[in-house]
Structure 1
């Protein structure tokens, strides 16, 4: 098969190739199948001329062969030229004389689709020979007149030039598409570089400001524990709790710094799988340390949640318990449930409201942040007050492999 241009642009040795889907509009190829019988019928003149049956056969065969021009343009062009010869030799009448010129359309298509000169030359020579044969058979005495050259140039040259023009336009369109694709790629690369620069700048700010101050707090609490060594055990318990909380927050900030500096944050484990249940248990114990009764059910096997899912689960529980300490009635128990259910993990925190009006702070960002986190993780968050209680329920989906267990 010849080297044919294909529609989606690709470069091979400096030649633009195009895919077949860029050829003629599909219905255009069926026009000759519908039009040729009409031309033949219109050429029948009762009592004067009737299109021969074999001419019908040749004409319909040419129309059907034309349907395959998009796939095999050179063979189709050669067949159309061969079929045109006997039709040229026939003393046709009226519109039936136009049927052989499907060969001109075949030459134009070869010129449009071929990337090499050889197929175009072969198709042009074949069609030229058919045309000259038809002219010579008509009246050999006038064959060597200038009119023969003019007719041949018109019948062969115009379709050839039209096909070459279409090929140039297709190549130009492919070049523009390639340039547009390159421009889009450059814009994506520039955007990615800008995001990386912003992440790096944010990481520097977190390191220089937040991480520095958190490290200072941890250090000073450690010093305070030694200074008040003989103090009330309750004071030491509070200092130990604050020291552990600050140390955990500092570790979280350091892991966040790694994620911000890494171009593939999805591969950075902000929270290890085995540590999720431990961190949730630690958050529950901190809540209990404030004097609130917490009834907890935490499944130690939380399945194959991805990095974002693990972090989202932990942060939802932590934020919910923070809101409990702010707004819940300390005399009423709080229920915390983190279990595997329905192919995912369901986290639910229910508390009794001490101040229903203040449960949702319009100026706060806790609930908004939780909703955004859960949405990014592909989960669902339900928050609301009912019968004097406040509930937060987050449903997170496991990975496909774990979900099928």
Structure 2
């Protein structure tokens, strides 16, 4: 990230270079007597330097403007290094070619610079091959910027492709590492925890008639091991779900904020939403936060796709004794049916991985409206679903 910012900073500084360099060129070409730069040439050159600053935002417009400014400068008898000022238009052409893949844009910018070079140089040759010389100059002045622009664009595309491939390779490596860790947890830790649960259960049956305190201790060990095994299984699901990485950025206390952001998008789409949200949603583990947020987001996305805007949407997240209930109720638009897709399948899979249930469709509780209802275990309070 540091290298990318540094590269952009250098590109920004290069935009200001003509504003500093052109006055130096003009001053270096000004001597008392015969050799001096005309005032109008100063004005045109400095205007070109200022216009060049806007090339990052409007490259094509800046290229055409610099081409137009180059015509009178090329036809002015400027002595020495001041004659380089008009060719800021060639630099702008390089910038256009390097920044875009649209050949129409490149063609327009190239045509503008060709016209500038031709109009600026025609008639200035006194020999018999004046026209041929003008054409050769135009080809050189245009061909070199085109080739340089194409080269820079190719280097930029190559760097971008290499960066994307590196990111894909890193993501693949992380997935492989997560899968390997999940296998180790399953084969080693989960196996031993399951063995502990089984053996303490057997021991409890064997010494059932012994001291009640021993039985109580064994039952406590069994329950603790069973809870740990459930946590390990939840962690295994997390390791095998690549999207869990996005939830690591969502703090436990920010769950309500994320839900409100999703509701704001629905209201911005023209829906009226009646909400009943339990503000006490803290303490949820990563899997519960991921599942809750994804179910909410997918349900509200379907509301924006298929629901009738004239009918209010009921939305509720309630923390109760049985767990956490998520409910979204809306009316379908006339003639609109929800096509079977991966969204509802994915929602059901997420709910099941979290140990919960999902009910989707019409006729829930005798209501003909479309209802999405999920019941998730409350991991913070130790409430599971039977």
The two structures have a TM-score, normalised by structure 2, of 0.58
Determine whether 1:97 maps to 2:83.
yes
The aligned counterpart of 1:64 is 50
The aligned counterpart of 2:252 is none
Determine whether 1:212 maps to 2:184.
no
The aligned counterpart of 1:392 is none
Determine whether 1:243 maps to 2:229.
no
- Please tell me whether Structure 1 or Structure 2 has the larger radius of gyration of its CA atoms: 1
Q: Deviations over 1:174-220 (max 9, x none)?
A: 00000001001101111111122122213542255322221111111
Q: 1:165 is matched with which residue: 151, 159, 173?
A: 151
The aligned counterpart of 2:64 is 78
Q: Are the structure 2 counterparts of residues 142 and 155 from structure 1 closer, same or farther at C-alpha, using a change threshold of 3 Å?
A: farther
Q: Secondary structure at the match of 2:54?
A: coil
The aligned counterpart of 2:178 is 192
Distance 2:165 2:150 in 1: 23
Deviation at 1:142, TM superposition (A): 4.7
Distance 1:84 1:304 in 2: 66
The aligned counterpart of 1:181 is 167
Determine whether 1:252 maps to 2:231.
no
Count of residues paired in the alignment: 244
Question: Contact between 1:135 and 1:143, CA under 8 Å: does it hold in 2?
Answer: no
Question: Contact between 1:77 and 1:123, CA under 8 Å: does it hold in 2?
Answer: yes
The aligned counterpart of 1:230 is none
Q: Secondary structure at the match of 1:175?
A: helix
Distance 1:134 1:145 in 2: 13
Q: What pairs with 1:268-287 in structure 2 (closer than 5 Å)?
A: none
Q: Are the structure 2 counterparts of residues 261 and 195 from structure 1 closer, same or farther at C-alpha, using a change threshold of 3 Å?
A: same
Distance 2:238 2:21 in 1: 61
The aligned counterpart of 1:285 is none
Q: Are the structure 2 counterparts of residues 304 and 97 from structure 1 closer, same or farther at C-alpha, using a change threshold of 3 Å?
A: closer
The aligned counterpart of 1:121 is 107
Distance 1:203 1:261 in 2: 10
Q: What pairs with 1:3-402 in structure 2 (closer than 5 Å)?
A: 22=8, 25-139=11-125, 142=128, 145-222=131-208, 224-225=209-210, 239-262=211-234, 263-264=237-238, 306=283
Deviation at 1:148, TM superposition (A): 2.5
Question: Contact between 2:118 and 2:135, CA under 8 Å: does it hold in 1?
Answer: no
Question: Which segment drifts farther, 142-151 or 184-193?
Answer: 142-151
Distance 2:216 2:282 in 1: 26
Question: Contact between 1:42 and 1:95, CA under 8 Å: does it hold in 2?
Answer: yes
Distance 2:228 2:126 in 1: 91
Deviation at 1:149, TM superposition (A): 2.8
Distance 2:183 2:117 in 1: 69
Question: Contact between 1:23 and 1:70, CA under 8 Å: does it hold in 2?
Answer: no
Q: Deviations over 1:48-95 (max 9, x none)?
A: 132121111100000111111111111010000000001111111111
Q: Deviations over 1:3-24 (max 9, x none)?
A: xxxx9xxxxxxxxxx99x7596
Distance 1:31 1:196 in 2: 55
